[in-house]
Amino acid sequence: LFDVLVVGGGPAGASAAVYAARKGINTGMVVETFGGQVMETLGIENMIGTPYTEGPKLMRQVEEHVNEYNVDVMKGQRAKDIRKNEFVEVELENGAVLKTKTAILATGARWRNINVPGEQEFKNKGVAYCPHCDGPLFAGKEVAVIGGGNSGIEAAIDLAGMAKHVYVLEFLPELKADLVLQKRLATLENVTVITNAATKEIVGSDHVEQLTYVDRQTNREATLAVEGVFILIGLMPNTEWLKDRVALNERNEIIVDKHGTTDLAGVFAAGDCTDSAYKQIIISMGSGATAALGAFDYLIRQ
Ligand code: FAD
């Protein structure tokens, strides 16, 4: 029987495990792949106190940190269900059921891919998903943002302050972002909005050099000379297995309060799988710590 069982091994889950284990309580971790999204990140420049690091290096250090404590890490295991009886029960895909007094859900999220040629090939070589992370790399350069929803238009406004020119490509005939964002975008001189644009291919040699798209009205193909392509067509939380188990918002993010508490007694959540306003490593680590302290407070009151 665990006191705290963490599900997920990204920054949020690892931080929660360290904070829980430091209370001297029985802590476990169920992890599909240790490291989470950070493993896909090459340069990280916004871990405060560490001017530059790389995703795999950071997560190796994070894993070492977890291993300094007595945490039972079950790698290569995927949780598929959670329920509350006398204890919280987490069922794994291999059929095992783990019992715990509290659970911390930290299953993260994934950016929707656009699935065009070049996207995978140029990840970290011009193809990006996070303007807060990679925006400064494109200072003075021409970039494209794919996606005209709120996250795409926020990114375009953000990037316009650094990049030479920003092209926004929206598949539909009009942008989907809130009007206030669209109005703000319209005031920026170095932004061009292209609607009805179906992205066809991202092209380059060792880095992105061009993006081609098809104008869906004329069926004509066009090319933009850009060095960066930000793909912002949706962040999907890994919460499919939690539907009808804990309360999710309209974006399928787990709803938490300021202690990381969900609506299921003894179950907490942290990181990109929650309704946190922003999705970043440092924010996930902070919310993992919050959820672990929330779980500890809950335990000492039982
Ligand atoms: P994740 O990192 O998504 O980790 C989720 C974990 O849960 C993984 O271990 C996964 O295997 C596991 N898991 C999922 N489902 C299950 C299940 N059912 N059972 C068991 N385990 C499960 N942020 C920055 O601050 N700076 C950056 O420079 C930066 N660059 C980025 C670049 C890219 C390409 C991407 C995709 C993201 C970047 N981010 C960056 C965002 C950052 O990576 C995330 O905010 C952060 O990783 C979220 O941490 P998390 O622990 O909540 O989730």
pTM of the shown model:
0.90
Q: What tokens appear for 124 in the block?
A: 């970290």
Residue 63's SS3 state is helix
54: CA distance to ligand 1 center in Å?
Answer: 14
pLDDT in tens, 229-267: 999 999 999 999 999 999 999 999 999 999 999 999 999
Q: Whose CA is nearest to atom 37 of ligand 1?
A: 37
pLDDT for residue 40 is more than 90: no
Q: Is the predicted pLDDT of residue 41 greater than 90, yes or no?
A: no
DSSP letters for 112-140: PP---TTTTTTBTTTEES-HHHHGGGGTT
Q: What is the residue whose two structure tokens read 């029987």?
A: 1
* Average of per-residue pLDDT across 212-233: 97
- Is the distance from the beta carbon of residue 44 to the nearest atom of ligand 1 less than 6 Å? yes
How many Å from the N-terminal Cα to the C-terminal Cα in the chain? 15
**Long-range Cβ contact pairs of 57-62 (< 8 A, separation 24 or more):** 58/281, 59/11, 59/14, 59/34, 59/35, 62/11, 62/14, 62/35
Give me the pLDDT at residue 261, please: 98
**Does ligand 1 lie within 6 Å of residue 111's CB atom?**
yes
Ligand 1 neighbourhood includes 135 CB (under 6 angstroms): no
Active-site pick, 3, 72, 81, 134: 134
Query: Rounded to the nearest whole angstrom, what is the distance from the C-alpha of residue 275 to the centroid of ligand 1?
Result: 14
Separation of CA 272 and ligand 1 centre (Å): 7
Mean pLDDT, residues 120-124 taken together: 94
The reply to whether 273 belongs to the active site is no
Confirm or reject: Cβ of 162 under 6 Å from ligand 1: no
0.90 surpassed by complex ipTM = yes
Q: How far apart are CA 214 and CA 48, in angstroms?
A: 41
Decide: 259 and 294 in contact? Cβ < 8 Å: yes
CB 28 within 8 A of CB 103: no
